[in-house]
């Protein structure tokens, strides 16, 4: 068995790089081969994982945040390997769908010794995601949150809260056409989100009924709203209330979604940003083998 660890050294303000010593200590008395690669540039994790030697059974570990995880997944799809996640970033939203808070040393040990389970993966315009892809207000919030994080002022949930407050005053809804499993709608939308996992924005529960292995994505759409209604949605997210009860909300389980806009819009994919006039989403059932920590 081979073990490949991909570490983003700047994730979590240094939390990820501190995992290196814990990993090395774990393997001191083990016969398994392991390799630690510390990335130095964007998309390097994808390149390393995509071109790695999988001639024997292998476990690949993402050591960082959701952005690092997304890069690793986009190199790992279709490979003879399992995915382990060491949550060492500032948000760590995906792992919240299956992992309780725990001491980092225990997570590393339990993940290395865990068992693999097949889970679904989402795809948007030929790029894969494992947690949530969001268009509109959440993507704008993510851009603002990154500004706070990059300045090393704050991180985690507080960065997203402040990012949301900035977006609340400057974001404008867009008119889009969206086709859900062949059914077409057109509306001015404040938010569109496709969820495989449940959590977003540093621990906010966006999709409480999302399941990692149900062969579908949870579609949420919020229509253009006035500032009062938007604030009501934000409070609902922060207080863990289900937004599906609000009349301005779309909700469906779906397998495909197409979004078309006259203007270029942005989509947040597991914390990473892409821009386009058209987004095509689909679910890849059992698209990757995820290591579930043994405890």
> pLDDT band at 102, cuts 50/70/90?
low
Confidence (pLDDT) at 103: 55
pLDDT at 156: 61
Most confident of 9-18, 89-98, 128-137, 263-272: 128-137
Question: Of all residues in the chain, what percent are helix, strand and coil, respectively (each to 5)?
Answer: 30, 40, 30
pLDDT of 146: 72
DSSP notation for 186-246: EEEEEEEEEESSSEETTTEES-TT--TTSS-EEEEEEE---HHHHHHHHHHHHTT--GGGS
Q: Please state the φ and ψ torsions of residue 54, each to the nearest 5 degrees.
A: -110, 35
Q: Among candidates 200, 199, 205, 193, which has minimal Cα distance to 251?
A: 193
Looking at 52-130, list the stretches that DSSP marks H as alpha helix, in order from N- to C-terminal side.
66-76, 104-112
pLDDT in tens, 214-266: 999 999 999 987 777 878 887 888 788 888 888 889 999 999 999 999 988 88
Domain ranges (residues) in the chain: 2-121+288-292, 132-284
Distance CA 94, CA 18 (A): 21
Reference 207, options 127, 121, 97; nearest CA is 97
pTM: 0.88
Could you say which architecture CATH assigns to the domain 2-121+288-292?
A: 3-Layer(aba) Sandwich (3.40)
Q: What is the C-alpha to C-alpha distance for residues 51 and 174, in angstroms, rounded to an integer?
A: 39
Return the CATH architecture of domain 132-284. Answer: Sandwich (2.60)
* Residue closest to 281 by CA, chosen among 241, 250, 254, 263: 254
């Amino acid at each position: 068995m081979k073990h490949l660890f991909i570490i983003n050294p700047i994730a979590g303000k240094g939390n990820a790089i501190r995992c290196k010593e814990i990993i090395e200590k774990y393997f001191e008395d083990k016969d398994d081969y392991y390799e630690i690669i510390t990335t130095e540039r964007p998309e390097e994790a994808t390149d390393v994982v995509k071109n790695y030697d999988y001639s024997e059974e292998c476990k690949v570990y993402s050591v960082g945040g959701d952005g690092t995880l997304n890069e690793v997944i986009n190199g790992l799809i279709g490979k003879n390997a399992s995915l382990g996640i060491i949550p060492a970033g500032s948000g760590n939203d995906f792992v919240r769908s299956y992992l309780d808070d725990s001491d980092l040393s225990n997570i590393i040990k339990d993940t290395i010794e865990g068992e693999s389970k097949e889970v679904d993966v989402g795809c948007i315009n030929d790029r894969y995601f494992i947690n949530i892809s969001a268009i509109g207000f959440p993507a704008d919030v993510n851009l603002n949150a990154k500004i706070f994080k990059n300045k090393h002022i704050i991180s985690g949930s507080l960065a997203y809260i402040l990012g949301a407050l900035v977006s609340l005053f400057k974001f404008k809804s867009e008119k889009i056409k969206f086709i859900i499993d062949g059914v077409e709608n057109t509306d001015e939308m404040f938010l569109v989100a496709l969820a495989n996992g449940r959590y977003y924005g540093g621990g906010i529960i966006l999709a409480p009924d999302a399941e990692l292995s149900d062969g579908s994505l949870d579609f949420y759409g919020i229509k253009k709203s006035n500032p009062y209604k938007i604030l009501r949605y934000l409070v609902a997210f922060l207080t863990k209330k289900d937004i599906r009860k609000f009349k301005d909300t779309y909700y469906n389980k779906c397998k495909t979604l197409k979004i078309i806009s006259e203007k270029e819009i942005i989509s947040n994919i597991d914390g990473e940003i892409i821009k386009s006039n058209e987004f095509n989403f689909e679910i890849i059932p059992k698209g990757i083998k995820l290591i579930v920590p043994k405890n």
